[in-house]
Chain A
Amino acid sequence: MIAFAQAAEAAKAPHIDWGALSPAVALVGGLCLVLLLGLARARSVRTVAVPVLTLIALGVTAGLSVWQWNDNASIIEGALAMDDFTRGLTLLFCAAGVGTVLLSWRSAAAAEAGEGEYYALLLTSILGMVILVAAENFVVLFIGFELLSIPLYVLCATHMRREHSLESGLKYLIIGSVGSATLLYGLALIYGATGSTDFSGVAAAAGEVSDDPLMLAGVALVVAGLAFKASVAPFHQWTPDVYEGAPTPITAFMAVATKAAAFGVLLRLFDVALISTSGTWGPALAALALITIVIGNVGAIGQSSLKRLLAYSSVAQAGYMLAGVVVSTRLGIQATIFYLAGYVLMNMAAFAVIVARERETPAGDDISSMYGLGADRPLLAWPMTIAMLSLAGFPATVGFFGKLYLIQAAVDNEYAWLGVAIVVGSAISLVYYLRVIAAVWMRPASDATPVAGGRVPGARPAMAGGSQEADAGVPERRHDTTLDSLEIDDGEGTAAVAAGGTRRLRQPEVTFVAVLCGLATLAFGIWPDPLFELARDAGAAIASLV
């Protein structure tokens, strides 16, 4: 006993600034409570109290971040930087988390996996993101990385009774592990070259060893490892498959929050720790950005599944944002953060509409699920339209200013050709974004014909998952297996489904997410000052840049 006390004294536990750490503490507390509450037997507790508690945890986290605003501190012996950069991104994660919870509310995935586990995993993943973007040390960085990833592997597979979901989870697990291993190897090599795991130590030593093969190999492996997570080409191949197979709310979460976290860590790692070697990784990342823009945009053109389309679109958007990382100026960081904030809003709006239609129509996430939306459902049609216009970079949406900001940042630091790449990519992207808008407004609902193959009926369970009154008259448990629904939809069923398979469901929370994010996309496109302020503060926190 005495020996233990002596040992503890000798180890000298680091001082912890609990105030600065409070957002992360709130997440830990929230996830524990959610997990415990999920054990309750009463259905109402599981389906109502658990999501509400998750929302509260996210709200508290966001509130604590705002409370700590402008108070930049490096805590726990330089392990975590709780600065405005971290907190700005934490706000984005919380926004994405709130959206995901609302989209998951009636989804079959949460019910099948158990609400407690589902929402606790979601909070864990967000905790991992916060730690990842706050990390100022390679070990902490890797812990955050894994804490982010592992819950996501599980969440992808939560729609257990659908084989695509399991496949998606497994695929993500394998590829994600490869990415993690690559990252870890790279971090180890950089440590070997510089002799430090602290960002500040690495930054101090990196200048001298910038041509050291050990260092170069380390940086290359780190880029590859993070590129997996950010779905930067050519490490993006998992993205469409995983996005398509995962439950749509989780897809939305991955597309939005994971991307924000990956770019957060890219910004901090490259623009703080490795800034003095920017001459070596700058051109390489610029080339990756170019490849990503082209591959993402070209890949999206032929897609008929909206989730796949948005997966490729997210690859392309990753390319645009990578341009902001490449320029490695404060302007670049600000532009990237600004774009990320807008990106969260516009993608959330789009995914909310997809979730809603997936439950309502037999077409699943096929583009034909959007047919006739403009005439029948303006509250879903407009958010989708605004989201697509914003992703394409049309004016009066936040996407326009995001692109303009990125282009300015690129031109400002002699990367004018990357600015041109961004606009050329946007020009290509019009082809598929406009196709979605055309589906929403210009095609009558009667045009929709179920697509052949198992995927479409397979997507059906999502709609059966939630509201009970809508399921009246539907054969019991038809959503349980893909095979079941295949049998029902085959034969003369297809014609009937095309005409009358669409139903209106009461899912106000999904409409709410869509409308709110759509309005925000529009509002920030007209008055973007709050987002600029967020970007400015976040950029100011990274002091090593001009």
Chain B
Amino acid sequence: MTIHLSILIFWPLVFGVAGTLVPRNAAPVFALVGALVPLGYAVLMLFDFDLAARGLQYLTDDEWIPDLGIHYRLGVDGLNLWLVALTTLLFAASALWLVFRPPPRASLFALHFGVAETAVLGAFLAQDLGLFVLFFDLMLVPFYFLVGIWGGPERIAAAVKMVVYTLVGSLIMLAAAAATAVLSARGGNDLSFAFSDLVANRLPESTQKWIFVAFALAFLIKMPAFPFHGWMPDAYRTMPLPALAVFSGVVSKVAAYGFLRVTLPLFPDAVHDFQTILLVLALLSILYGSVMAFTQTNARLILGYSSVAQLGFITLGLFAADNAAAGAQGALMQSIQHGLVVAPMLLVIVLLAERAAGSEDIRDMGGIAFRAPVLAGLFLVATLATLAMPGSANFAGEFLILLGMFNDQQVFAFIASIGVVLAGVYALRLYIRAMHNRTGPAVTSFEMSVRDGLVLVPLVLAIVAFALKPQAALDHAEPSVKRAVAPVLQAGGSQQAATEVRP
């Protein structure tokens, strides 16, 4: 069967634009249709995907801008298949949430929401560096508006801070991408941004280095990783939660995916050279994020800093560079898992705040589980998945990452395991302070409505399903991940060989 990725990408945008033309209260429904169809499409793709085939599937390849060497090239392989599915799922869930709880100026919200989904899907599916950078930068625009228009107090400052921070990285990446294409074309090749052409004409190691630094900076800021997370607290504090659910769930994953898709295959020598620095940054992210998550009282920030820690784990796995590519597989798995978990938890904060007199501070909560057992149950599942309870997919992911590290870099693996323990501390603290403990003075506990359940139950079911059968994603991902990591292993091998020969 033919699947057109262009439809998948631009469907949300079309419905977002259409949503501005219809009456205000119909706009969220348009956004929902705009998000549900891609979800259906993605699920279809999961079943239709040919496990045996190598390389990209459902390829769309057109020349777009010959003068700049940019192709309109989209494709799916094991690296992005599940991330696309995750994106469509989270956007659909958030869109449903918006139908039940429409924000003010709903049609404008629906438009930015649609643009956001289009940009994220575009970034995941692009098989051309120029196109990837374009969608990567475009992602920022809708979230700027979502924070700036619908955010809480201090929203404008937070929005500007977020955009300036992350776009600095993105713009440097733009220059680096242009340099990659121009310099690869030096040997008489046509100017081309297509990943396949860039891999074929890989740059010399000295050039790779500074270009890699630019890309790594962009991705680390976007994740965010310590010490580039300065924009995160303000943005998390003010972003409307349905938007934050997709932002935290998938936008940060685009950065992790970028490492896997762009930097590992294109700049393997540089990756090998900078491996230790990246691993140290990843460890610092894990420790810093965990400790900060433990000290915060704002529920959003607890999840924000926990994301920093989780993305530290993901970075750790990406740069483990072990022979079986277990680390990178674990990182991909962890990306999906973190997205699945963080989105429902952020949405639950809305419900918690409703019961705690509008406060998102865990000091004002407590005892909410008393009359809301279903809500508490759902929240507990998500919490346990966060702290990598054995049996959860998070456990499988972290296990793979640590396995990949143990093979090569035991010290890092040991320190990283502290992070696993700390995750238990901050996740349980959030759950206990919110749900149990003494009932807060302003807390009125009541069960969640069917409508909220319609959004949350499927998400939690997805967590459970994924925990039961993480192998499904791994089967798809393994060959592609191995292919992405292979150049780094080669680079490491050749350098090792070189050093062995020298004495």
Contact = CB atoms under 8 A, between A and B. Distances in A.
User: Do A and B actually bind?
Assistant: yes
A395 B137 contact: yes
A181 B133 CA distance: 46
B65 interface: yes
B163 A411 contact: no
A416 interface: yes
A430 interface: yes
Interface in B395-439: none
B29 interface: no
B65 A529 contact: yes
A530 B80 CA distance: 34
B171 A434 contact: no
B65 A528 contact: yes
Contact of B68 (A396, A405, A437, A443): A405
Nearest to A529: B65
A334 B191 CA distance: 16
Nearest to B65: A528
A93 interface: no
A420 interface: yes
A461 interface: no
A257 B482 CA distance: 55
A427 B167 contact: yes
A138 B435 CA distance: 82
A438 B159 contact: yes
B156 interface: yes
A238 interface: no
Most-contacted residue by chain B among A396, A400, A442, A528 (CB, 10 A): A442
Nearest to A442: B148
A403 B144 CA distance: 21
B174 A434 contact: no
A404 B129 CA distance: 12
A419 B179 contact: yes
Contacts of B179: 407, 411, 416, 419
- A interface, by DSSP: helix, strand, loop or mixed? helix
B160 interface: yes
A395 B138 contact: yes
A395 B135 contact: yes
Contacts of A66: none
B475 to A, nearest CB: 34
Contact of B164 (A411, A419, A424, A431): A431
A422 interface: yes
B461 interface: no
A427 B68 contact: no
Contacts of A423: 171-172, 174-175
A74 interface: no
A404 B174 contact: yes
Interface in A400-437: 400-401, 403-405, 407-408, 411-412, 416, 419-420, 422-424, 426-427, 430-431, 434-435, 437
A418 to B, nearest CB: 10
11 contacts: A400-B134, A411-B175, A411-B182, A412-B182, A419-B179, A423-B174, A431-B160, A442-B155, A442-B156, A443-B156, A536-B67
Contact of A532 (B67, B134, B145, B156): B67
4 nearest A-B residue pairs (beta carbon): A395-B134, A423-B171, A442-B148, A407-B178
A149 to B, nearest CB: 34
Contact of A419 (B108, B163, B175): B175
Interface in A314-345: 334
Contacts of B134: 395-396, 400
Interface in B155-195: 155-156, 159-160, 163-164, 167-168, 171-172, 174-175, 178-179, 181-183, 191
B168 A427 contact: yes
A403 B174 CA distance: 9
Contacts of A401: 65, 68
Contacts of B145: 441
A216 to B, nearest CB: 32
A400 B65 CA distance: 13
Contacts of A364: none
Interface string A374-408: 11000000000000010001111000110111011
The size bracket of the interface on B is 35 or more
Contacts of B164: 427, 430-431, 434
Nearest to A405: B68
Contacts of A424: 171-172
Nearest to A419: B175
A405 B182 CA distance: 11
A545 B106 CA distance: 54
B249 interface: no
B359 to A, nearest CB: 24
Nearest to B20: A378
Interface in A460-485: none
B178 A438 contact: no
B65 A434 contact: no
B145 to A, nearest CB: 6
* Most chain A C-beta atoms within 10 Å of own C-beta, residue among B108, B130, B175: B175
A438 B174 contact: no
Contacts of A442: 148-149, 155-156, 159
B168 to A, nearest CB: 4
A321 B147 CA distance: 33
Given A407-B174, A536-B67, A434 B138 contact: no
B65 A408 contact: no
Nearest to A418: B175
B141 interface: yes
B141 A389 contact: yes
B105 A427 contact: no
A437 B141 CA distance: 11
Nearest to A439: B156
Interface in B125-156: 130, 133-135, 137-138, 140-141, 144-145, 148-149, 155-156
Given A403-B174, A427-B167, A438 B156 contact: yes
Contacts of A435: 160
B65 A411 contact: no
B168 A400 contact: no
Interface string B60-74: 000001011000000
A422 B144 contact: no
Given A393-B174, A394-B138, A419-B178, 4 more contacts: A396-B138, A434-B160, A438-B159, A443-B156
Nearest to A435: B160
A434 B166 CA distance: 13
Contacts of A434: 144, 159-160, 163-164
Nearest to B69: A408
Contacts of A535: 67
Contacts of A536: 67
Interface string A257-287: 0000000000000000000000000000000
A546 to B, nearest CB: 15
B51 to A, nearest CB: 34
Contacts of A441: 145, 148-149
A375 B175 CA distance: 36
Contacts of B138: 394-396
B178 A408 contact: yes
Residue of B108, B145, B149, B174 ringed by the most chain A CB atoms within 10 A: B174
A408 B137 contact: no
Contacts of A419: 175, 178-179
A496 B175 CA distance: 49
Contacts of B140: 394
Contacts of A426: 171
A404 to B, nearest CB: 6
A411 B183 contact: yes
A272 B419 CA distance: 63
A398 B276 CA distance: 40
Contacts of B172: 420, 423-424, 427
Contact of B137 (A394, A411, A431, A532): A394
Nearest to B139: A395
Contacts of B160: 430-431, 434-435, 438
Interface in B93-129: 105, 108
A106 B156 CA distance: 35
